[in-house]
């Protein structure tokens, strides 16, 4: 699975490369805030907020073609929904790593 599936991302925006570039720039600017929301929810052991913050991040990642990262966000969302937050830190670490790799990958595309 690709870090950045540009074909999928372009389909999401009907092939509008300018729009995709704008969305990618916005994500680069906001990804730390999105990750922090998930991190803080986990630290607070707040299952409902883990679910919501992971869902929000998952949607952004999936829309932009970051399927590997979005899969980890989905796992966290499900754990939050199930109120099973034991051992979610490793999943968050993987989400954070994949998201940062995605941001590095899209840096050229979003300029």
Q: Which residues contact 13 (CB under 8 A, 6 or more apart)?
A: 19, 20, 23
CB contact set of 3 (below 8 Å; sequence gap of 6+): 66, 68, 69, 98, 101, 102, 105
pLDDT values of the chain reduced to their tens digit, one per residue, 111 residues: 789 999 999 999 999 999 999 999 999 999 999 999 999 999 999 999 999 999 999 999 999 999 999 999 999 999 999 999 999 999 999 999 999 999 999 986 655
- Report which of 46, 32, 102, 106 is spatially closest to residue 79, judged by C-alpha positions: 46
Query: What is the model's pTM?
Result: 0.93
């Amino acid at each position: 699975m690709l870090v950045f599936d540009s074909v999928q991302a372009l389909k999401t925006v009907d092939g509008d490369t300018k729009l995709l570039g704008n969305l990618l720039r916005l994500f680069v600017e906001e990804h730390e805030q999105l990750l922090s929301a998930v991190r803080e929810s986990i630290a607070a052991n707040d299952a409902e907020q883990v679910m919501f913050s992971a869902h929000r991040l998952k949607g952004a990642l999936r829309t932009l073609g970051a399927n590997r990262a979005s899969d980890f966000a989905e796992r966290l969302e499900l754990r939050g929904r199930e109120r099973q937050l034991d051992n979610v830190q490793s999943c968050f670490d993987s989400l954070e790593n994949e998201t940062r790799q995605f941001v590095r990958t899209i840096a050229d595309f979003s300029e």
